[in-house]
Amino acid sequence: MSEKIDRRIVKSQKAIREAFLDALLEKGFENITVKDITEQADLSRKTFYLHYIDKYDLLDKIMDEHLKQLREICEQKKDKGLVEGTIIWFAYFEKHKAFFTSLFQSANTVSFRHRLLHFVMGEIDKKLSESSLNQQIDRQIAVKFLGTAVMGVLESYVLEEISGDMQQVAKQVGEMISTHLSYGF
């Protein structure tokens, strides 16, 4: 019996998330309502509220999934060089470009930007060795500097404010990070 319930839960959550993503692309985050989502998913509002508190909670859960996948990518690319790893990472954003474009364009998704920046900074911090820092450069400032630089380029790429294909942009970002890590600022 519990297997049947689990399948229904998975099916409902999948329908809600797909409806949310469709609405996100069509209307933008600010204009989405729970009613829009449930109508598109052909589910009751009660079903929505069994799984999520509101649209912000739903967005947080979807972001959790993306961050989990990005962590897995970071683990898989450990053996690759920084430039090649950056290309793999940018490819993920290319694959999910419509979703990330909608979020970067939204004024009400500050928590999304903050969580993504925190994630990027954490990955940079892992790569930043003590010996690569100039004695006069604070580690926290170096991580914040590189993290916000990567986020700025990533956001500009996703929003198509930067020309160039994904591999070209990612390669340049990877090379710049590598240069800063190698020369210790």
Compute CA distances 69 → 72, 83, 155, 169, 183, whole Å. Answer: 5, 19, 18, 21, 31
**Are residue 42 and residue 4 in the same domain, yes or no?**
yes
Same domain, 158 and 70: yes
d(CA 39, CA 33): 10
Q: Are residues 24 and 63 in the same domain?
A: no
Task: Please indicate, yes or no, whether residues 173 and 139 belong to a single structural domain of this protein.
Answer: yes
Q: Over the stretch 126-148, which tens digit does the pLDDT of each residue have?
A: 877 655 556 667 888 888 999 99
**Residue range of the domain that includes 15:** 1-52
Does pLDDT of 51 surpass 50?
yes
171, 83 contact by CB (below 8 A)? yes
* Residues 62 and 40 reside in one and the same domain: no
Same domain (yes/no): 45, 78: no
Q: What is d(CA 154, CA 161) in angstroms, rounded to the nearest whole number? A: 10
Give the separation between CA 4 and CA 128, rounded to whole angstroms: 48
Residue 9 maps to which CATH number?
A: 1.10.10.60
107 and 168 inside one domain: yes
For 73, the 3-state DSSP assignment is helix
The count of structural domains within the chain is 2
> Which tokens go with 149?
């630089």
31, 52, 73 - which closes a domain = 52
pTM: 0.80
For residues 25 and 102, is the Cβ–Cβ distance under 8 A?
yes
12 and 99 within one domain: no
In the predicted model, what is the mean pLDDT of residues 153-169?
91
Is pLDDT above 90 for 92?
Answer: yes
39 and 85, same domain (yes or no): no
* 158 and 95 share one domain: yes
